Structure 1
Amino acid sequence: MISCNSSPLEACILPEIMEAEMPKDTALMPTTLRVALAAIMIFMITIGFLGNAIVCLIVYQKPAMRSAINLLLATLAFSDIMLSLLCIPFTTVTLATTDWSFGVGFCRVSIMLYWLFVLEGVSILLIISVDRFLIIVQRQDKLTPHRAKILIAASWVLSLCVSIPSVVSWRTMRIGSQVPQCILGYSESLAVRGYTVLLAVAVFFVPFGVMMYSYICILNTVRRNALRIHNHTCESSVPVSHVSKLGLTGLQRPQVNIDMSFKTRAFTTILILFIGFSVCWLPHTVVSLLAVFSRRFYLSQAFYPVSIGALWLSYLKAVFNPMVYCWRIRKFREACLEFVPKTCHLCPKIHGRSRRRIRPSNLYVCSSETQSSV
């Protein structure tokens, strides 16, 4: 473990007592398992970069796709790209070699970049959730592309203000053989503990609470609307016998046919992103708080595997988002096929004008009256 003072020019001093109590990495996790985890993280870097890059290219190349929600999703993808390129590779190398070889200065920069990109991604998810709440619950669609750009700029500034103290004036701790990333480790300083609580509140607890409240209200609104539509459909239906008695055979019965699945599909996608955020970030938030407040947990042998698992889950979010897009959004799948070389396509793409618009069997199923009229 390295404990760096506030000035980046000062040497890092390792207290002798904590060095004696620190468990060795060779007894914590086998080398084969560490290399396997590093290989998985390399795969995560590839998927996270390519998947999120496609999202950014779609919004950049097609002006019709530059709506407010798409600008927010592109910003979320960009923050995940930066996390995949500027944070995960150094963690992967340190996990495989059990030694931080990038210097004390970059140790400080890496922890600041980590929290910067994480905070930005969480801020974008929070903005999207509040926007869905205003649209579905309050029936107020106020988010325009111009306002979305202002919110994106403000979120970057706010994320930078919250993350920059970790590199300027706070004691940064790293365990080279116990955690493959610079972290805010155990400290008895009230300032460090207060800053760690601020990070936990800003990254997880406040966004989780706001998004949970928004989605509960949205689900209740969607349920009430579905019941209202169902009741309206039942009340407005008129029996055929009554219609014939009234001499209204030429009129159609009132029908209410609304595709609820289509209207709630976008909300369902955002809800899945929220669930992924909660699963990926709850363990890391708990481990970060325990590492700063509990010296016993920070120096225990269980800290290494637990911190590795929590850190891996936090990085998994950068890979989770494009997988959800590919699963839920048809235009994203089509855009992915456009970037794949034509020689790699298993089935050739049929031009829009050459597609069959009707079923061939319908040409031969005709009643006698239809044939006589024709």
Structure 2
Amino acid sequence: MTTCNSSSLDLCVLQEPNVTEMLPDRYALVMPITLRVVLATVMIFMITIGFMGNAIVCLIVYQKPAMRSAINLLLATLAFSDIMLSLLCMPFTAVTVVSADWRFGGEFCRVSVMLYWFFVLEGVSILLIISVDRFLIIVQRQDKLTPHRAKVMIGASWMLSFFVSLPTVVGWTVVEVPTRPPQCVLGYSESMADRGYMVLLAVAVFFVPFSVMLYSYLCILNTVRRNTLRIHNHAESLCLNQVSKLGLTGLQRPPQVNVDMSFKTRAFTTILILFIGFSVCWMPHTVVSLLAVFSSSFYFSPTFYPVSVGALWLSYLKTVFNPIIYCWRIRKFREACLEFMPKTCRIFPRIPGRSRRRIRPSNIYMCGETQSAV
């Protein structure tokens, strides 16, 4: 049964007879106050790490003109959307998880839903653009994404994300003040418009990006595998030619072939890890959101609250996941973190390392008697 009170900020609150009266006691049993405090504390830690890590990405691109390539502009935009999600959505969710009550008013409830989907859609759009760009470069061998085109696509993605998330704030969909979920969400509704909008969000946020990125990365992996085999075969043929020219007999062992492809695949592997993190963090939340709108038995069940808290916490984990991957995989990001970190906070002093020259791509085909490849 749906009850609407037009005098209360024009919000519709979904209720089921003989259920909402039992919610506080029921959820006190399902989610003890100790567990809720622990979850809120972890979320505060996630806000801190997510803000600091993503802020460093933005500062690197802003302060160093040499870093303003197309891919770095996209990564900075992704970091900025994660910062906004951490600052404008996660603190209110942490307070709601602890208090088990929404304390910020009905009008801001709609705004929070709009901001949540707005920044999530923007982050997913940037990941999708990066994946298609890697596909064009590696598979199609077309490097068409210039910094200017990247800026145009970034602006278009912001506009598209805004218009897709707009219906939640203008009152076109049913938004529930959280007596059941940990934040304002699109609750259970029998309206075809509400269900259709939830399907649109799920398709735009997860299913279409996941399908396109999965296809792109499968094609990239296949291309990298074929290129690696081709380079190995070419290096082996060069080595055999040198063996024949030197007049070595069959009793002598030919030199081993060792082709290092890490410099070609490391950047792609980093983006592939970001895709895996996106899939793991967003699949549970997408499924829970769809079930909440379509299934009354799930939405009004006592398991909905802990399941929704877990799915929401996992979706917010993505804001922390990206900076950790950057620090693990990108040397320049680690160096920038040390530069921005105060000297008094550094555990170990920074020791200048021995400079190493970049390996020329042509050296990969060099073959000698004792070392067949660089």
TM-score, scaled to structure 2: 0.87
Deviation string for 1:214-252 (max 9, x for gaps)? Answer: 000000000000111111112222366632459xxxxxx
Q: What RMSD over aligned residues (CA atoms) do the two structures have, in Å?
A: 2.6
Aligned residue in 2 for 1:363: none
2:91 is the alignment partner of 1:89? yes
Aligned residue in 1 for 2:131: 129
SS of residue in 2 equivalent to 1:301: coil
2:263 is the alignment partner of 1:262? yes
Change beyond 3 A, Cα 1:13–1:266: closer
| CA radius of gyration, larger in | 1
- CA shift, 1:254, in A, is 12
Aligned residue in 2 for 1:366: none
> In structure 1, what is the Cα distance between the partners aligned to 2:185 and 2:58?
30
Change beyond 3 A, Cα 1:13–1:138: closer
SS of residue in 1 equivalent to 2:107: helix
Letter in 2 for 1:344: C
2:331 is the alignment partner of 1:336? no
Letter in 1 for 2:216: S
Does structure 2 retain, via aligned residues, the 8 Å contact 1:229–1:256? no
Does structure 1 retain, via aligned residues, the 8 Å contact 2:281–2:317? yes
> In structure 2, what is the Cα distance between the partners aligned to 1:316 and 1:90?
16
Letter in 1 for 2:85: L
> In structure 2, what is the Cα distance between the partners aligned to 1:241 and 1:107?
74
Q: May I ask how many residue pairs the two structures share in their alignment?
A: 349
Does structure 2 retain, via aligned residues, the 8 Å contact 1:25–1:177? no
Q: Percent identity?
A: 74
Does structure 1 retain, via aligned residues, the 8 Å contact 2:13–2:176? no
SS of residue in 2 equivalent to 1:162: helix
> In structure 2, what is the Cα distance between the partners aligned to 1:273 and 1:347?
29
Aligned residue in 2 for 1:71: 73
Does structure 2 retain, via aligned residues, the 8 Å contact 1:21–1:299? no
Change beyond 3 A, Cα 1:87–1:236: same
Deviation string for 1:326-365 (max 9, x for gaps)? Answer: 000000000000011112223333457xx588xxxxxxxx
Does structure 2 retain, via aligned residues, the 8 Å contact 1:236–1:254? no
> In structure 1, what is the Cα distance between the partners aligned to 2:68 and 2:196?
40
Aligned residue in 1 for 2:322: 321
Gap runs ≥5 in structure 1 = 247-252, 358-374
Change beyond 3 A, Cα 1:13–1:71: closer
Does structure 2 retain, via aligned residues, the 8 Å contact 1:83–1:117? yes
Aligned residue in 1 for 2:31: 29
Gap runs ≥5 in structure 2 = 249-253, 357-374
- Structure 1 residues 228-237 or 17-26, which shifts more? 17-26
Q: Mapping of 1:134-145 within 5 angstroms?
A: 134-145=136-147
Aligned residue in 1 for 2:370: none
Change beyond 3 A, Cα 1:182–1:234: same
Aligned residue in 1 for 2:289: 288
2:213 is the alignment partner of 1:205? no
Aligned residue in 1 for 2:275: 274
- CA shift, 1:178, in A, is 2.5
- CA shift, 1:28, in A, is 1.8
Change beyond 3 A, Cα 1:239–1:202: closer
> In structure 1, what is the Cα distance between the partners aligned to 2:199 and 2:308?
18
> In structure 1, what is the Cα distance between the partners aligned to 2:224 and 2:11?
59
Deviation string for 1:278-322 (max 9, x for gaps)? Answer: 000000000000000000100000101110110000000000000
Does structure 1 retain, via aligned residues, the 8 Å contact 2:176–2:184? yes
